[in-house]
Amino acid sequence: MFQDSLTKTYDAVVVGSGATGGWAAKRLAEAGLTVAVLEAGRNISPKEFTEHMPAFHLKYRNVSLDWLKSRPVQKQCYACMEYNYDWFVDDLQNPYSTPSDKPFTWQRLRIVGGRTLVWGRQSYRLSDLDFKAASHDGYGDDWPISYKDMAPYYDLVEDYVGISGAAEGNDALPDGHFLPPMKMTCGEVHLRDRVQKQFGRTITIGRTAMLTKNHNGRLACHYCGPCERGCSTFSYFSSPFTTLKDALNTGKCTLITNAVVARVNVDPATNRATGITFVDGITRQTKSVRGKTVILCAQALESTRILLNSATREHTTGLGNSSGLLGRGLMDHSTGAGAAGELPGFDAKPTPYSGPHRANGIYVIRFRNVAKGPQHPGFIRGYGFQGGAESQFNFDAPGYGADFKQAVRNGSYGISLGAFGESLARNDNYVSIDPELKDAWGIPALHISMTHGDNEKALHEDAAVTAAEMLESAGAKNIRIRSTLAEPGMAIHELGTARMGTDPKKSVTDAYNRLHDVKNVCVMDGACFVSSGCQNPTLTMMAITVRACDHLVEGFRRGEV
């Protein structure tokens, strides 16, 4: 069967099986096209999920870091732990370089489903404040699409995925099609009411790709908590058990695992892609798969790496790089600023079994530099906050036995807000091919050069102040303020290295994600973003993919592909 997959010509070859790759496979296969999905890692089974496994079953009890010696970068990810570390890449086999004074943490998985197995699931729409940000403040470029173009695709994705949340009627964050919202804690309700009354700012429950009721054959979340270790009820969205499963069930889709993609193959006579060359991750053999169109959904930096490594005599600096902008404009949301404190008067006592362990928080909708109202003099764009309030254990309590157990429960009622700020697209933030470094399969590795700029710094200084003032308005005590920016990459929202646009001299892809230079190659992941907004980007990536795939299907029907 596998050998047969390498001898036929598919309508589409999709690289990547995560949030966008799963959607591309589903949308195209259900339309009747033949699809090959290439995944650099192995397959996964629900038998591997460990969300209910106690730590004493683990070799190192999830305490020692000995298991992370081959993952010095991946260990920075909140979701990487002894339970699941082998889902993440081996950093020694998958190197990249950075300038010595510009660290960047690239956190990634190589397994069917990719980061959808461990993602934070926060799912927010962009508005025209984001799609047309340049028209608002004059910086950069507008997207070639608008919220009106995207709205029906947001609807479609939300209806399928299942997004729980609450409508707020706030223009900066469009409402969507929601399942019932998760409940706020009493401290969060108190903060919401005080902040609305004093500042006119909107706090809502997080909009998350987790089911609060049975939906599309999947069960509602039972609030066990550790979602990054898998979900046996498939209550949170991950592509292997939703979109990719649907694609495979059509009989039109073939999944090829352990396929480490090296380059896109192009026929110089026609200037059209003919397929993909990859290295078998296990045997190290070089193989090819043929396709009428190639769709890169490998994750922004990986997709860009593939294009840069696909240079030919006709495309000397990388496939799709006639503008010189391939790899330029790297964005990752700025994080690090915020505030935390304690709420007196909220005396709920936690226990290990008190539940529910809500894997979600609250969200403060952007209020700086919105369409209506004054503009901040110190920076452009804006930020949102994610956070929460709940009773906390006091593990520093003294004592032994029953007295110690009681003392541990006498903790504080904590409250916190952490900012996610817009990252401006700057051409001096870029990725390129390292001339010397290669991965374990002999494929040239990336060089990543990125810093957060003065605008991000000013934005986060303001976010630290506004977070503290909101907590103070709720009566919080012992408030601790953070304004230091985290290292680029820590948001795990890489965007913008193959930006959309109508002018081939100022962009890499068109409004339907096709390379300007090679029309049957599409980039349907975060690389196509023109600006980052401050919202988590995965919902927008999925909606963009569905829109681009529908356009591609029409092209096949018209005989244009």
Lookup result for tokens 């934005």: 459
Look-up: residue for tokens 């969060």?
188
pLDDT tens, position by position, 460-494: 999 999 999 999 999 999 999 999 999 999 999 99
pLDDT-based confidence at residue 130 (cuts at 50, 70, 90): very high
Angle at 542 between CA 162 and CA 357, to 5 degrees: 40
Tell me the average pLDDT across 141-157.
98
Q: Give pLDDT tens digits for 418-459.
A: 999 999 999 999 999 999 999 999 999 999 999 999 999 999
* Structure token digits, residue 420: 């996610």
List pLDDT tens digits, range 4-26: 667 899 999 999 999 999 999 99
Q: Is the pLDDT of residue 156 over 90?
A: yes
DSSP secondary structure code for residue 7 in this structure: T
Could you give the count of Cα atoms lying within 13 Å of 417 in the half-sphere of its Cβ? 34
Q: pLDDT at position 68, please?
A: 75
pLDDT level of residue 393 (50, 70, 90 thresholds): confident
Report the C-alpha gap between 261 and 14 in whole angstroms.
11
Q: 62: pLDDT confidence band, cut at 50, 70 and 90?
A: confident
Give the whole-number percent of the chain exceeding pLDDT 70: 97
Confidence of residue 407 (pLDDT cuts 50, 70, 90): confident
Token code pair at residue 5:
């997959």
Instruction: Examine the pLDDT at 28 and tell me if it is beyond 80.
Output: yes
Of the pLDDT bands very low, low, confident and very high (cuts 50, 70, 90), residue 3 is low
What pLDDT does 536 receive? 98
Task: Supply the pTM of this predicted model.
Answer: 0.96
| Percentage of residues in the chain having pLDDT higher than 90 | 89
pLDDT band at 45 (very low <50, low <70, confident <90, very high): very high
Cis status, amide bond into 356, omega within 30 of 0: yes
Greatest Cα pair distance, the chain, in angstroms, is 80
With the C-alpha atoms ordered 136, 137, 141, 143, is the resulting torsion angle positive or negative? negative
pLDDT of 135: 97
State yes or no: pLDDT of 235 exceeds 50: yes
The predicted pLDDT at position 424 comes to 98
Residue spans of alpha helices (H) in 117-252: 128-131, 133-137, 147-161, 186-199, 243-249
Strands (E), 292-426: 294-296, 334-342, 362-364, 383-391, 413-421
In this predicted structure, what is the pLDDT of residue 411?
A: 77
Residue type, 24: A
How do the residues of the chain divide into helix, strand and coil, expressed in percent and rounded to 5? 25, 20, 50
How many residues in total does the chain contain?
561
Please tell me the predicted confidence (pLDDT) of residue 385: 98
DSSP 444: E
Q: Burial of 316 by CB count in 10 Å (0-12 exposed, 13-18 middle, 19+ buried)?
A: exposed
The mean per-residue pLDDT over the stretch 305-314 comes to 96
CA gap 192, 83 in Å, rounded:
36
Tens of pLDDT, residues 363-389: 999 999 998 888 999 999 999 999 999
pLDDT for 353 beyond 80:
no
Split at pLDDT 50, 70, 90, the class of 59 is confident
Q: How confident is the model at residue 1 (pLDDT cuts 50, 70, 90)?
A: very low
For residues 75 and 107, what is the distance between their CA atoms, to the nearest angstrom?
9
